[in-house]
Amino acid sequence: MPDILPPVHPGEILREEYLLPLAMSAGSLAKKLGVPRTRIERIVTETAPVTTDTGLRLAKFFTTSPEFWMNLQASYDLKISARALQADLDRIERYEAA
């Protein structure tokens, strides 16, 4: 099944669904989470992944689940990897039981 929509980085969700509506800066969020400002800035600019440490902190602060953040990251990673490996994956024949 081909992907119709492009992969969505968890940083886009954090920025568009949480920070912008709250008028909160990455630096302010970082301070509240007890992490370096650059960590949150890199996530919201979609240049760094959400780690388990950050996912746990985001979940606590925003009253979500850590799985929410980690599933966003895993989904993004899988879609990016699938695109990069498409030619190799196309050469793999499916296993068929006798």
Per-residue three-class SS string for the chain: CCCCCCCCCHHHHHHHHHHHHHCCCHHHHHHHHCCCHHHHHHHHCCCCCCCHHHHHHHHHHHCCCHHHHHHHHHHHHHHHHHHHCHHHHHCCCCCCCC
- Diameter over CA atoms, the chain: 60
Residue 25 lies in a domain: yes
What distance in Å separates the CA atoms of residue 33 and residue 29, rounded to the nearest whole number? 6
Residue 33 lies in a domain: yes
Look up the CATH number of the domain holding residue 32: 1.10.260.40
What pTM was computed for the model? 0.88
Residue 28 lies in a domain: yes
> What pLDDT was estimated at residue 98?
77
Residue 96 lies in a domain: no
- Per-residue pLDDT 10s for the chain (98 aa) are 456 789 999 999 999 999 999 999 999 999 999 999 999 999 999 999 999 999 999 999 999 999 999 999 999 999 999 999 999 999 999 999 87
Residue 4 lies in a domain: no
What distance in Å separates the CA atoms of residue 14 and residue 40, rounded to the nearest whole number? 9
> What pLDDT was estimated at residue 2?
58
Domain count for the chain, please give it: 1
Residue 35 lies in a domain: yes
What domain range is 64 assigned to?
10-90
